[in-house]
Structure 1
């Protein structure tokens, strides 16, 4: 599925803006929504009003707007595309059901010529935020009481979260366009592939440098050699472009332009190599989360976050715990950030609760959860969307599953095998502390060990001396088991209330957060096979109400409004020195 692009053949029109909105259960598809209010799109609906019941609403809500179609538009293929709707969308045009999509973080589109008319058309979208034992993310849902208990520690924002676009193509059109290449020494051989629907007799590809310098041309199915290519590198991004044109008897039928970067990835001997040089991941776990917009796309905020991270000396982030917007991935390509791209497989732990923690005796996860089908589909959609991004250097198949329980290996093995048929980038599953090296059944499948550890917070709280000892023992245990696999710490952090200080460096103070990170860094630096540190979290974020969550999760090194906590100075000094 190609990202919408306007050119000499394709027209695009955004349907973002203020939509009618209602959470009424009864809707007449032939009539306008009744008792409707206005709701911004793209954005979550939860925090746009003062209605707490709506903020916490579980079930189906309705969005509606009109759009116009000109007579000449229907001479072409007309497509309606959603960047993401969380978590399930059913789409209706002029009272007719068009189609549906399940999965809240990847795009979907429908050809709608058979549903529209010249003039004004009515578009309705039914959006459900219900999650259960079959969905990603996973949640415990009681249909009788309509009670939903997330198995994850972030707010279950819902709505039309990413842009809605109408676009046109001819009836012969480019459906996929992928950049494949081999990079050896001073040469890159590029062999793009494409799926083209409809009749055509010629497809040509033209190549450009980052400065729009014409490099040459090849036919589809052929190859093109770039001499002495400039490689895409961490925080030093160089992007080429390939433009495909499809013809029939000399007439241009479709065209599409795809940016790409040239770089190599290799994992061996306990190191992660980018362009044959070892790289150290410095950065954060993050959330798409902000005031009012919720999880909705916020390009200004994304741009600010990237500038903040660059200023700190960070070079990476993980899309915790779901794919981020396509626009954010494009920006990562341009800025040179390394991305661990994670599917929305969070909550794969049956007896998880933010309030009560995780049961140490429960072993039923892989019997209770029935997420395999959704998981495979989500992986497919993620790779199809993001495979052309040079910033994506690793795929994460899940965050903190119950990897120590019986059935975990059998669940993940076919998913790893499937992913390796889709792409050759390194694979990982982010490991939770309860699934330590003594018990874990999944990490043998991984190329890189990604660990979430909270020694000094959830474990050894307020005893950083013991925390350092336990952390060191943990690292050494993993290395003894998998001596050739590098280790990245993808989460570690301590809740910190902005502006709270303590002479005694007590937990929740900014002083304790500084001490906590300094202690962890001292341990990491002892091991050359620890190749990354991604703090949890970049910024404070909203969660469901909880006695251990003071107005949300406060592990950010920035507040939700992006004001720095004291530890930012420590990070800035450390990460710039590591360069």
Structure 2
């Protein structure tokens, strides 16, 4: 139980970086969506945030009426106010501005959003929070002219309490969203995906009782498959000696607990009739938490995941991870994915291919993906956006990375489908980087001892040999699963190179090839050695699959990638046109020849 107490304390501390502790399971709480049309103003010079001496308006006692967060109106015909949200254009939330507004396609900078609304609480003593699924990248949030706080990170949720500022009528929520890439950011300046700006996931008002269930972790004990354990914590002014009832009807569990002085209960429940969640039987239990004036429901699966030598064991049985990597792009709108329909299409394509596993790259995806993966029986790798080369010796950068990782673990720690937390992708080894990643791994194991840790590393030559490959990275000793990206036949020679390559991996851990692939334009055919043809991509997949079968520890793969995705790094006319073409499905939903190669491999793989 000491680990559980430490888990709660760490979350209470780390969430301060996002200014307020995260409310989990907003999926099933009483809420009011603020999605739809929002007014917006493009502000590349940030005139709505700074005065002409570059002093922030929101730090001033009496800011100018031209501070956009005030939503000012002229008080008389002579009054000078140089903006008007209500007369400005509208944009859809959730959604990125790049694909909604042609003139903002490449825009990186500040856009201000404003939403007006009325709201009446169902009970006068209730509390209300505004919750953002995600907003890329730095967001300053204001309600009725008062600043709620700032959030940094483009893919993690955040919330602020608005109880004392909320009115029955004529509330206005203003958000300054800035997607400029920053050298000290996480991710940093250089990525191989589109920097979609905007409020990219749903915004909602969460109404709670005065003392409410803020957080809980309900899990199968990794050391005892007949034991469910965890914690529940309350938020409020009266949280000591409060009754919390935990019910799992299918297991005939109905227990009552009293909170301690911190508003926390800890529990261990033994039950020998637990059905274990798996891809073949993704069984979810209805879990109900009750406290005074509040009932929270969730759907939770119980399973164990661990490694033993070179094997991955799900519920103590060996499993090969038949996977694919996925970017968070909509298969329908050609922009940032955010809807349940987006998630269904992406995961259905993965299942059609024969996958039992997906790698959600290179950042936390929306909650629909993991919730649906729970129901569909798809195992999930989630990744922190520590990508390529960032400022390893910058303490603020580390805190930023740690906060984003902490937040996604907090959001998704009750999802049975999630089995791997990834610390990073393709980061070059150095002493500073190793310290950075080691600290993230240590934090993760403290927060969640029930899942595996990995990172997408890079392969290298074994003792200088050009034909023998290995993994030579100090962080390989830290992770539970040895994962790496390799592009032999695409960035290194042609696909025929694969037959020359041997692998010598001396670390006795399971191996996942987290990426391999080749670009292909759908409908472009030719010789199998002609780049960008479907035939080339098909040939590379055939040769790569034969090559990696030689790796004794191989326990899974997640080739790059399910669907073509936008990237400004890919300008080749008539082939890429701003798209990374390594998808096995084109941007308009057509399957390429390599899709069926991988599908056949999975269908015949035990």
The reply to whether residue 440 of structure 1 matches residue 473 of structure 2 is: yes
Q: Which moved more, 1:366-375 or 1:567-576?
A: 366-375
Q: Is the 8 A contact 1:190 1:223 kept in 2?
A: yes
Question: Residues 119 and 348 of structure 1: is their aligned pair in 2 closer, same or farther, counting only changes over 3 Å?
Answer: same
Question: Residues 504 and 183 of structure 1: is their aligned pair in 2 closer, same or farther, counting only changes over 3 Å?
Answer: closer
Q: Is the 8 A contact 1:286 1:538 kept in 2?
A: yes
Q: Is the 8 A contact 2:460 2:471 kept in 1?
A: no
SS of residue paired to 1:500: coil
Q: Is the 8 A contact 1:43 1:293 kept in 2?
A: no
Deviations 1:435-482, CA, capped at 9 Å, x for gaps: 98575232221111111100000011x2x3323323x2xx31xx22x1
Aligned length: 529
Match of 1:14 among 1, 11, 33: 33
The reply to whether residue 468 of structure 1 matches residue 494 of structure 2 is: no
Q: Is the 8 A contact 2:382 2:421 kept in 1?
A: yes
Q: How does 1:307-346 map to 2 (within 5 A)?
A: 307-346=348-387
Deviations 1:125-180, CA, capped at 9 Å, x for gaps: 100102223211111xxxxxxxxxxx111111111111111121111111112103
- Tell me the residue number matched to 1:130: 180
Match of 1:371 among 383, 397, 402: 397
- Tell me the residue number matched to 2:232: 194
Q: Is the 8 A contact 2:227 2:269 kept in 1?
A: yes
Match of 1:499 among 523, 527, 533: 523
Structure 1: state its 5+ residue gaps. 140-150, 247-251, 350-364
SS of residue paired to 2:164: helix
Match of 1:231 among 276, 279, 293: 276
Match of 2:538 among 514, 517, 539: 514
Q: TM-score, normalization: structure 2?
A: 0.83
Match of 1:116 among 144, 166, 185: 166
Deviations 1:238-265, CA, capped at 9 Å, x for gaps: 111221111xxxxx32221122111111
Instruction: After TM superposition, give the deviation of residue 64 of structure 1 in Å.
Output: 0.9
- Tell me the residue number matched to 2:312: 272
- Tell me the residue number matched to 2:15: none
Match of 2:220 among 181, 185, 192: 181
Q: Which moved more, 1:448-457 or 1:225-234?
A: 225-234
- Tell me the residue number matched to 2:548: 524
Instruction: After TM superposition, give the deviation of residue 434 of structure 1 in Å.
Output: 6.3
Q: TM-score, normalization: structure 1?
A: 0.86
Structure 2: state its 5+ residue gaps. 1-22, 49-67, 73-83, 258-264, 462-468
- Tell me the residue number matched to 1:39: 91
Cα distance in structure 2, aligned partners of 1:438 and 1:333: 32
Question: Residues 518 and 68 of structure 1: is their aligned pair in 2 closer, same or farther, counting only changes over 3 Å?
Answer: same
Instruction: After TM superposition, give the deviation of residue 370 of structure 1 in Å.
Output: 6.0
SS of residue paired to 1:555: coil
Q: How does 1:562-577 map to 2 (within 5 A)?
A: 562-577=589-604
Question: Residues 225 and 117 of structure 1: is their aligned pair in 2 closer, same or farther, counting only changes over 3 Å?
Answer: same
The reply to whether residue 382 of structure 1 matches residue 422 of structure 2 is: no
Question: Residues 260 and 504 of structure 1: is their aligned pair in 2 closer, same or farther, counting only changes over 3 Å?
Answer: closer
Instruction: After TM superposition, give the deviation of residue 528 of structure 1 in Å.
Output: 3.5
- Tell me the residue number matched to 1:160: 199
Cα distance in structure 2, aligned partners of 1:327 and 1:267: 28
Cα distance in structure 2, aligned partners of 1:43 and 1:559: 22
- Tell me the residue number matched to 1:104: 154
The reply to whether residue 558 of structure 1 matches residue 564 of structure 2 is: no
SS of residue paired to 1:567: helix
Question: Residues 16 and 499 of structure 1: is their aligned pair in 2 closer, same or farther, counting only changes over 3 Å?
Answer: same
Q: Is the 8 A contact 1:21 1:64 kept in 2?
A: yes
